[in-house]
A and B are shown apart, each in its own frame.
Chain A
Amino acid sequence: MSRIVIGQYIPGDSFLHRLDPRAKLLFVFLFFFLIFLANNISTYLILYLFVAICILLSQIRVRLFLGSIKPVLFIIILTSILHLVMTKGGAALLTTPLFTVYEEGVRQAAFISSRFLILVVMASILTFTTSSLDLTDALEQLLEPLKKIRVPVHELALMMSIALRFIPTLWEETEKIKNAQLARGANLESGNIFKRLAAYIPIFIPLFLSSFRRAEELAMAMEARAYRGGIGRTKYRLLQYKGKDYSLIVIFLLLVIMIGWLRS
């Protein structure tokens, strides 16, 4: 389980942990748009500074944030390289027989990788400081108006909550099946990518079958506990906005003003 970092909740009692999940979710959602407004060094510096402050406020070790970047590092590096060698504009900084690196290429590579980094770290701040249950509750309440156009909001939120609840269970199951196949001589580590993928088929088939069986048993257990969709349901968890949640509006507006003022 230690390998899973993205989406993992780190329990704590920091300022960010105590914020209403709806406020955090909305803020991060709008912040993602704000990232795309940044287009020069000063605007990106402001975003970096803001992310650094959020990391400090979360009281979560920086190592964990680095861990969350790792899975997307390949994409960041690849897009940066593509921008370096393909974007033209400004003075030529480096000329090789194969490609030329221009000033604009360096700028774009730096900005695009910054966007990715800020996106991933902000998403991690949200998931590190908000439990999956809080997130699904927040999503359900924020999407509440869609019920009027018959969007099954409650069912979608419950599906998400169950999916998150079963990640560790299915992970354990995968490990068990993998070990069982290894014990019977399966070779998962050698050969090219296609051979390796084929070697995983005997792991995925039993995993899918057992997941379907689990789903059926879970549905029966839910029905045995009087579940019949969202009809007449009450809620144990109550979300209430507090003063500090409204401060996010002020912070967001300040960010918009600063970026709007500094962008070229």
Chain B
Amino acid sequence: MGTEITLKDVWFHYYPQTESRENWAVQNVSLDFQQGEYVSIIGSNGSGKSSLACLLNGLFIPTEGAFCINGQPITTDQDRWELKRRVGMIFQNPDNQIVAPSVVDDIAFGLENLGVSREEMKYRIPLVLEQVGLSGLEKKEPHHLSGGQKQRLAIAGILAMQPDVIIFDESTSMLDPDGRKHILRLMDELHKSGITIIHITHQATEAFLAERLIVIHQGRIMMDQSSKELYANATLLDQWGLDVPIGILLHQALRDKGWKLSEKMESEEQLVSELWTSM
């Protein structure tokens, strides 16, 4: 059946009584996420993207508006607890989301919370370790892992819970280039396996790896387009304090210099291909 997430006119603020509505973290957001989508939510610091992520996982409760899963409103604590199995979340700092003193026990933590049987845990844990490339490190203590390995451990902990949706909340921002590549590749693989990926980031180059891009600025949704559409209008990102991907800047600079390139570019691959044929 999968998990379809719907936010309808959602407003959120940590202290709604003290702030005027223009300063709320999330303002009048209406979004739909279909099963199997690969979506990036992009915004500068303080734009409200992490608050939005926490709303999607049930960690925060909308101050106003409706939050539904497969059309059913999420209202009770029990609803929100059950949501945690369907919608997993990976945080920014790999160190602050590992609970147990060993790899295998940390993966088991979420399963124990869900009340999964020991036999089922013994079946699932080696599978997810294999999936994230941490086989053989079962007994390792977390502080002996690299940043990238810690983040993969966090992903394994969520994968073992067999979610339909995984939210990556700036999960690559504290990693070295290798660790980052590994996580992005893993996101792509998970998406191909049918899991909905929601990638919260402020890195435009990473965001464009998704099929759909949502731009959030000062708590409001400014754009919600396919990445191909947004790639063609990517210079708009600049007004919301976001970096324009280098490929787009290069495309414009070359066109200004008189290179015969398409007016609108849909991807970096297209740019490379056109450059190759024009040389």
Contact A221 B113 (CB under 8 A): no
Flag if B118 contacts A133 (CB, 8 Å). no
Contact B102 A225 (CB under 8 A): no
**B101 and A164 contact, CB distance less than 8 A:** yes
Q: How far is the CA of A262 from the CA of B31 in the complex (A)?
A: 80
Q: In the complex, A214 Cα to B99 Cα: how many Å?
A: 11
Q: C-beta contact mask, A177-196 vs B, less than 8 Å → 1, else 0?
A: 00000000000000000000
The verdict on B117 contacting chain A, using a C-beta distance below 8 Å, is yes
- For B161, list chain A residues within 8 Å (CB): 225-226
Given contacts A172-B143, A234-B111, contact A224 B84 (CB under 8 A): yes
B193 to nearest A CB, angstroms? 20
Contact B85–A161 (Cβ < 8 Å):
no
Q: Does B96 contact A217, Cβ atoms closer than 8 Å?
A: yes
Of B57, B59, B105, B154, the contact of A236 (CB 8 Å cutoff): B105
Q: Which residues in B have their C-beta under 8 angstroms from that of A214?
A: 95-96
Determine the distance from Cα of A233 to Cα of B108 in the docked complex, in whole angstroms: 11
- Which residues of B, 101-157, contact A by the 8 Å Cβ criterion? 101-102, 104-105, 108-118, 121, 125, 139, 141-143, 154, 157
* Chain B residues positioned under 8 Å from A227 (CB to CB): 109, 113
Whether A238 contacts B118 in the complex (CB less than 8 A), given A133-B102, A221-B97, comes out as: yes
* B219 adjacent to chain A (CB < 8 Å): no
Interface centre among A169, A233, A235, A236 (most CB of B within 10 A): A236
Contact A162 B105 (CB under 8 A): no
Q: Given A224-B89, A226-B85, do A236 and B157 touch, yes or no (CB 8 Å)?
A: no
Query: Chain A nearest CB: distance from B62 CB in Å?
Result: 17
Q: Is the CB of A225 within 8 A of B100?
A: no
Verify if B240 is at the interface (C-beta below 8 Å from A). Answer: no
Cβ-based interface call for A58 (8 A): no
How many chain-A residues does the 8 Å CB contact rule pick out? 30
Bin the interface of chain B by size. 35 or more
Residue from B113, B139, B158 within 8 A of A233 (CB atoms):
B113
Instruction: Return B138 CB to nearest CB of chain A, in Å.
Output: 12
Q: Which residue of the partner chain A has the closest CB to B139?
A: A11
Q: How far is the CA of A161 from the CA of B109 in the complex (A)?
A: 12
Partner of B112, one of A161, A221, A236: A236
Cross-interface CB contact of B99 among A131, A165, A237, cutoff 8 Å: A165
| Contact of A224 with B59 in the complex, beta carbons under 8 Å | yes
Residue of chain A at shortest CB distance from B114: A226
Are B101 and A165 within 8 A (Cβ)?
A: yes
The residues of A that contact B141 with a CB separation of less than 8 Å are: 168
Please report the C-alpha to C-alpha distance between residue A164 and residue B57 in the assembled complex, in whole angstroms.
28
Given contacts A165-B142, A223-B59, A225-B158, contact A234 B110 (CB under 8 A): no
- Inter-chain CA distance A164–B59, complex, in Å, is 26
Q: Which of chain B's residues have a CB closer than 8 A to the CB of A168?
A: 141, 143
B residues less than 8 Å from A169 (CB atoms)? 95, 143
Contact of A131 among B84, B89, B102 (CB under 8 A): B102
Q: Give the docked Cα–Cα distance between A214 and B100 (Å).
A: 15
- For residue A132, CB closer than 8 A to chain B, the reply is yes
Q: Give the interface centre of B57, B101, B105 by most chain A CB atoms within 10 Å.
A: B101
In the complex, A232 has a CB within 8 A of chain B? yes
B96 A234 Cβ-Cβ under 8 A: no
Contact (Cβ within 8 A) A234 B59: no
Chain A residue at smallest Cβ distance from B121: A236
Nearest 10 Cβ contacts at the A-B interface: A221-B97, A236-B108, A226-B84, A225-B110, A217-B96, A168-B143, A226-B113, A224-B89, A165-B101, A232-B115
Q: List 25 A-B contacts (CB under 8 A).
A: A131-B102, A161-B101, A217-B93, A218-B96, A220-B54, A221-B96, A221-B97, A221-B154, A222-B99, A222-B109, A223-B59, A224-B91, A225-B84, A225-B158, A226-B114, A227-B109, A227-B113, A228-B113, A233-B113, A234-B112, A235-B112, A235-B118, A236-B108, A236-B121, A237-B108
B-side interface residues toward A, CB under 8 Å? Answer: 54, 57, 59, 81, 84-85, 88-89, 91, 93, 95-102, 104-105, 108-118, 121, 125, 139, 141-143, 154, 157-158, 161
